[in-house]
A and B are shown apart, each in its own frame.
Chain A
Amino acid sequence: MEPTALTANLRPRINFSLVTHVKRHCEGGVLTIKKGDVVQPFDVLGKTQINPGFFILDLAKRLGVSNKQAVSYLRKPIGSKIFKGELLAIKPGFLNLGNKIITSPTDCTLDSYNESTGELTIKFLPKEVPILAGVYGIIDDIATNNEIIIRTLVTEVFGVFGSGKQRFGELHVLGKQDSFTLKEQISPEMSSQIIVAGALIYPDAIKRAISIGATGIVCGGLNARDFKSMTGTINTNRILGSDLGISVMATEGFGPNSIGEDIYRLLLSQDGGSALISGNSAKLLLPSRDPDSLLKVQKTIIPVSRYPEAPPELRLTAIETGRIVRVIWPPFMGMQGKIVHIDNAPTVLPSGISTFLLTIEGKQRKIKVPFTNIEIIA
């Protein structure tokens, strides 16, 4: 093969300033808006009751007693309602010194106690919440199940695969782009948030995120085993859609991978803002925070689509010097840079494979990689 014929896949990563539709849900609730209304982020679309999830409390460990004994220290029986700050359990100390006291972290029900693990499952009480628009936009449609379609201006961030339907939340960047997220780092305050979890999130941290009612997770990579448990397969082409109560999106690939520099910088700048994550189409939407965006939205008419979303198509593109690329295989997996040279003759790698190498200039170094081991991003 001559070097001029070399091609690679072009995979979009970020699409700035796009007018598109986003969905907000108000199932079983009462709407306060109608089709054609212009909305702003803090406008109330309606009110609905939500079940914020559940929380696992390691009761036996906190009281310092055996798993079998711990339940006897509860102040209320299993099945009772208990309110924030109320006494949940007490283990008296000697002469009332060194009492171990646990109070309820929130309004909840004492759902069940597991004698083998010493864990108490606490279910948060359903509560009525207003559904805020979260975006500057125009209501284009309202479906029969109170699904509200809003036309708005967004920045689209594309991952590589994921799971889950479109969900809304506040973006929360938890750590660095190469950090690993453990269960202990997920706290109840992250309810309704889209957590940016670094290079990898462990399965018990995902479970914890579901239990506290987080709406989404963005990470650089997902272990194949965990992805399969969400979707039933590791073959991303065969997934029509899956949902386990949270939307998850990987930006780079399988296994631990730092979130790419381009996406991480953008997410950091949007930390604390509204976002919509759709794991099934591996997409994160960052609505514009500029009130003037409404001018562009009003001028752009787009049809309402009822088809399920899909990840963007890859495009076969000629490899040329100057193109910005992302390395998709170790040892430089995830590195981004510009092609500065294309070898004229093939090289035999230590693996025995003969291939053409590209020289890529990144921020900190220059590397040579096989042309098959990159994707073009710009």
Chain B
Amino acid sequence: MSKLIGVFQELSFLENTPIENISAWVKEKIDPHRLENYLASRLFYPQTVPATPQEINIDLAILREALRVNNRLLYDPEKNRFEVSTAFINRFGSLSNIILSFLDVTVMKKGVVYIYLKETNRQPIGTILTPEIPPDIRKVLVRMSLNVFELETGKAHILEAREPNYIISLNNMPQQVIGGLAGVIVNLK
């Protein structure tokens, strides 16, 4: 007989992870025993959802560690694609949460990675752009459509971009990207 499972079922490989690896990502101080019990409870009841902001922050910390250990959960390096399921998005609250958590723990190659929704898989729903940036630059000027953004280096920035195609210009260097539900993520990490 089948049973209800959840996204956390896919993260069961974290059972032996040192708890410090997760607590490092949690902003509020949390007792290690409590965090161990929290992780064990999530893995035991993988279908449960967080009710409070503190709980979603802990879940995203767990997600970061999971992606650090195995970024193939979301990234296919052979196809150079970022793929995420609707269940994943629903579970972690937003696509932005997931993409930013992924970029927190992944060193991306320079270039473009398209984002796909697993269920549709035909058209990208956004782009992660990791440009080549000289090391001493603190801010990057970005032009997209009629908008101009001044973005700090060392961070990833999500630009809302619902149209399918854009030409984005970084420090006057043009690059074609695809927009959609995920937008365009300029990764300046």
Contact of A329 among B4, B12, B34, B48 (CB under 8 A): B48
Is A121 interfacial (CB 8 A cutoff)?
Answer: no
Write the A3-15 contact mask toward B (1 if CB under 8 angstroms, else 0): 0000111000000
| Residues of chain A within 8 A of B90, CB atoms compared | 353-354
23 residue pairs bridging A and B, Cβ less than 8 Å apart: A221-B37, A223-B33, A225-B33, A233-B15, A233-B16, A234-B36, A234-B39, A238-B15, A254-B37, A254-B40, A254-B44, A328-B48, A329-B41, A329-B45, A350-B53, A351-B49, A351-B51, A351-B56, A352-B97, A370-B48, A372-B48, A372-B49, A373-B48
- A:353-378 near B, CB below 8 Å: 353-355, 370, 372-373
| Residues of chain B within 8 A of A221, CB atoms compared | 37
| Residues of chain B within 8 A of A161, CB atoms compared | 44
Q: Knowing that A255-B41, A350-B53 are A-B contacts, what are 15 other residue pairs whose CB atoms are under 8 Å apart, sorted by A's residue number?
A: A8-B4, A221-B37, A224-B36, A224-B37, A233-B15, A234-B44, A255-B40, A313-B1, A314-B4, A315-B3, A329-B41, A349-B51, A351-B55, A353-B91, A373-B51
Q: Indicate if the CB atoms of B4 and A9 lie closer than 8 Å.
A: yes
Contacts from A to B (Cβ < 8 Å): 7-9, 160-161, 221, 223-225, 227, 233-238, 253-255, 313-316, 328-331, 349-355, 370, 372-373
Q: Indicate if the CB atoms of B50 and A316 lie closer than 8 Å.
A: no
**How many angstroms from the CA of A313 to the CA of B2 in the assembled complex?**
9
**How many angstroms from the CA of A266 to the CA of B55 in the assembled complex?**
34
Write the B5-18 contact mask toward A (1 if CB under 8 angstroms, else 0): 01000001001100
Contact of A350 among B3, B33, B40, B51 (CB under 8 A): B51
Q: Indicate if the CB atoms of A351 and B52 lie closer than 8 Å.
A: yes
Assuming A254-B37, A350-B53, is B4 touching A316 (CB within 8 A)? yes
Q: Indicate if the CB atoms of A234 and B51 lie closer than 8 Å.
A: no
Q: Indicate if the CB atoms of A351 and B93 lie closer than 8 Å.
A: yes
Q: How large is the interface on B (under 10, 10 to 19, 20 to 34, 35 or more residues)?
A: 20 to 34
Q: Indicate if the CB atoms of B50 and A351 lie closer than 8 Å.
A: yes
Q: Indicate if the CB atoms of A235 and B12 lie closer than 8 Å.
A: yes
Q: Indicate if the CB atoms of B45 and A328 lie closer than 8 Å.
A: yes
**How many angstroms from the CA of A328 to the CA of B47 in the assembled complex?**
10
Q: What residue of chain B has the Cβ atom nearest to residue A161's Cβ?
A: B44
Q: Indicate if the CB atoms of B37 and A223 lie closer than 8 Å.
A: yes
Q: What residue of chain A has the Cβ atom nearest to residue B57's Cβ?
A: A351
| Residues of chain A within 8 A of B38, CB atoms compared | 255
**How many angstroms from the CA of A52 to the CA of B55 in the assembled complex?**
45
